[in-house]
Structure 1
């Protein structure tokens, strides 16, 4: 089975700050940089609205730490339903399910007949290993996928790529997937598209203690039409189309 090159390895993108990442939608929300102090977390700072701030920064809780600078909206309500993607995508109005990925925004949108149903932050190719752009189609799904190239940091365990959806195989035979992974607040993968998977993080790193975010599972079940118990590779016949556009942002 072909595998992805997008498992955990952030050595080439270390020390990036979410506050210094530039997105086209930055001008639509008033925000300011805040450097986190010891003991501060998204939950202690923003209470029940921490999820909105995490999504706005394209970051997960495991990567929040003292000294990190994040973008803090002046009005938290401004990012309560943050989705820097078109609410209506006419190119997909005939598609029962369609996925739009904007690398410039680091966001993915799930569309039904051209109407945006939900939008989630991503981590795409890290600049050295780029995510391919263009028109694709999902051809396989694998709930319990894992990398054969990259381990979980500090271990020899294969990096989990749960709820994986394959959208491309290049000429060298390398597969590209949408799957669960760490979201450090900047493009960090080896070409795949990473989504929140806090249950995986708790299993591998012991944090967060109470997982809540699992966009990888949400997208996977949306594509397959419901919960899937089969851990075998599932071939998708005429799977949803995927359109990837834009260019991953750089730190300013």
Structure 2
């Protein structure tokens, strides 16, 4: 299956949780969806009021050797690269994709680790266009 639509991926530089500038990257390649979580919240980033940033219909596709998780999830699409490494989709698109990976995604109240999830290919379309 090919699923396409507008996204927002990693900004060239972003502030980390300690407020230091760092290079942000979205991992590319072939991955397996590791987990889905209908009502996920960031464990690192907060909104301006100090609450964890919501990441609805989240699908973890990569975890770094340092334990940093990268997710496909619903969120704001400002029209430019703006995330810290995750891939943001329209909430409706994230829901469709989450339900395709796990038909029970919309009913789950907590994170569900998947054993036999399909693979996902993440490409950098800017790198591949020209």
Q: By the TM > 0.5 criterion, same fold?
A: yes
Aligned match for 1:144, one of 16, 39, 42: 39
Q: Answer yes or no: is the 8 Å Cα contact 1:124–1:248 preserved in 2.
A: no
TM-score (norm 1): 0.44
The C-alpha deviation readout for 1:92-127, integer Å capped at 9, x for no partner, is: xxxxxxxxxxxxxxxxxxx1xxxx4x4221101111
* Superposed counterparts of 1:48-127, under 5 Å: 111=1, 116=2, 118-127=3-12
TM-score (norm 2): 0.82
Unpaired runs of 5+ residues, structure 1, are 1-110, 198-213
Give the number of the structure with larger relative contact order, counting CA–CA contacts within 8 Å between residues 6 or more apart. Answer: 2
- Cα distance in 2 for partners of 1:227, 1:194 equals 17
Structure (1/2) with the larger helix percentage: 1
CA radius of gyration, larger in? 1
The offset of 1:221, in angstroms, is 1.1
- Cα distance in 2 for partners of 1:161, 1:248 equals 24
Q: CA RMSD in A?
A: 1.7
- Cα distance in 1 for partners of 2:56, 2:106 equals 12
Query: Aligned in 2, Cα 1:158/1:135: closer, same or farther, shift over 3 Å?
Result: same
Unpaired runs of 5+ residues, structure 2, are 14-23
Q: Answer yes or no: is the 8 Å Cα contact 1:140–1:166 preserved in 2.
A: yes
Q: Answer yes or no: is the 8 Å Cα contact 2:57–2:105 preserved in 1.
A: no
The offset of 1:215, in angstroms, is 1.2
Q: Answer yes or no: is the 8 Å Cα contact 1:151–1:158 preserved in 2.
A: yes
Aligned match for 1:189, one of 71, 80, 83: 83
Say whether residues 1:220 and 2:98 are aligned partners. Answer: yes
Q: Answer yes or no: is the 8 Å Cα contact 2:32–2:119 preserved in 1.
A: yes
Q: Answer yes or no: is the 8 Å Cα contact 2:12–2:25 preserved in 1.
A: yes
Question: Which aligned runs of 4 or more in structure 1 are off by greater than 6 angstroms?
Answer: none
The offset of 1:246, in angstroms, is 2.4
Give aligned pairs, total. 117
The offset of 1:231, in angstroms, is 1.5
The C-alpha deviation readout for 1:210-252, integer Å capped at 9, x for no partner, is: xxxx211111112213563122110111211111122557xxx
